[in-house]
Amino acid sequence: MSKDGIFTAMRESIENYDSDAATAAAKQAVESGIDLLEAVEKGFAGPIRNLGEAFDRMEIFLPQLMLGSDAMKAGMAVMEEAITAGGGTIKSKGVVVIGTVEGDIHDIGNTVVAALLQANGYSVHDLGVEVPSSRFIEAAGSRTSDRSQRLSNEAGLGKCTRAGKEVRNHLGRQDPGQPGRRDGRPLLAGRQGAAARRRDLQHDSLFLAGLANQAVACNSGIIATTSHTTSGRPGSDQYAHEVSALALTAVTSGSTVSGPRPAEPLSFNNVSPPMAPLFAEVSHAAAGMKRETAAELVARLYEKYKDRIDLEQAPKGKAFEELYDLQTLRPTAEHQALYDKLKEELITLGVPLG
């Protein structure tokens, strides 16, 4: 098969979510001796990016996105095996330890970066998803004795910033002559999600988000969605205040809503089921509200949590088992009282809840 034919087979394997076809196309790529960087970029990487963009536009569903990622992983496993066994033509330029941080299951970007690095001559050790900081450090220390070739890269969303700090602290002091390096080892942190979300919660950014949503709603037929991510955690007043401010901003500016969820959960069970219907009630109430009214309400809500935007200062909240009776699956008296108080507070503030 020609080089272009191999590229076509690789692309189609991702587009058809076919892991077997991806494996077969990858074997052809390795056996043919073509440039693997070019093969990944023209074969696997393009369709994966297209799937991610289609998912963002809500043209495909999450299972399709994950099936495409699985197909790419299957194909890249063949290339990695060939390189490890000495059957490839790529000389390793260094060792890369990569993975998605603990608390995050998103791995599309991680997969693409790992594939491109590997095809570009690096020995890549993909730790997968939900990787604790300690495992990054352990892997970075055990893969090679040549400290100048160690690269610990952790990609993630909400928990990326804290995980990056933990890894940097363990790797040692920063080398002033090599920005971004720790103790001689380069460290890359992908998608500083938590920091970006904190910026999104600033008052000016709420205004800009509302303005952008209005522009989309008034000038196109596109359905925009605003994801609701908070600094405060479930089980705290701040969680409800942030969620309500975001819902009021999004709905009155023409956006649909999704969420809510904390940017950095206390744990996997850091959830509060009553907050979902409260979020929905506020969003529903906002649907018949003027933007001027919503802006006043958002300003009052923002005053309640503006000094606790930083994740270090935001309330930690509580785990599900502390908020619910595990036998009856009903909220504890304390949590029900918090919900009732918050709802009454919103009504008093001027949110027309039933």
Same domain, 204 and 333: yes
Report the residue count for the chain.
354
CATH number for the domain harbouring residue 136: 3.40.50.280
Please, which pLDDT band fits residue 203 given cuts at 50, 70 and 90? low
Same domain, 187 and 285: no
Enclosing domain of residue 162: 91-191
DSSP calls for 6-67: HHHHHHHHHHTT-HHHHHHHHHHHHHHT--HHHHIIIIIIHHHHHHHHHHHTTSS-HHHHHH
- Is there a domain that residue 252 lies in? yes
| pLDDT at site 180 | 44
Same domain, 343 and 208: yes
Answer yes or no: is pLDDT of 317 > 50: yes
Which two structure tokens, joined as six digits, stand for 63? 């299972």
- Is there a domain that residue 277 lies in? yes
Q: What's the domain count of the chain?
A: 3
User: Can you state the percent helix, strand and coil of the chain, rounding each to 5?
Assistant: 55, 10, 30
Residue with tokens 């929905």: 280
- Is there a domain that residue 95 lies in? yes
- pTM of the complete model: 0.49
Residue type, 282: V
Which two structure tokens, joined as six digits, stand for 268? 């996997």
How far apart are the C-alpha atoms of 164 and 187, rounded to whole Å?
A: 8
- Is there a domain that residue 51 lies in? yes
Same domain, 114 and 247: no
The string of pLDDT tens digits covering residues 119-135 is 455 667 788 888 887 78
CA-wise closest residue to 144 among 93, 187, 180: 93
How far apart are the C-alpha atoms of 321 and 84, rounded to whole Å?
A: 46
| pLDDT at site 118 | 52
- Is there a domain that residue 354 lies in? no
Same domain, 241 and 326: yes
Same domain, 170 and 213: no
Of 191, 206, 239, the position where a domain reaches its end is: 191
| pLDDT at site 165 | 62
| pLDDT at site 114 | 67
Of 87, 121, 154, the position where a domain reaches its end is: 87
Please, which pLDDT band fits residue 181 given cuts at 50, 70 and 90? very low
How far apart are the C-alpha atoms of 353 and 281, rounded to whole Å?
A: 7
Which two structure tokens, joined as six digits, stand for 340? 């009732």
Same domain, 329 and 296: yes
Q: Which residue has the higher pLDDT, 259 or 28?
A: 28
Same domain, 175 and 268: no
Mean pLDDT score across all residues of the chain:
77
Same domain, 226 and 335: yes
The string of pLDDT tens digits covering residues 267-288 is 778 888 888 889 999 999 999 8
The string of pLDDT tens digits covering residues 294-313 is 989 998 999 999 888 888 88
| pLDDT at site 123 | 67
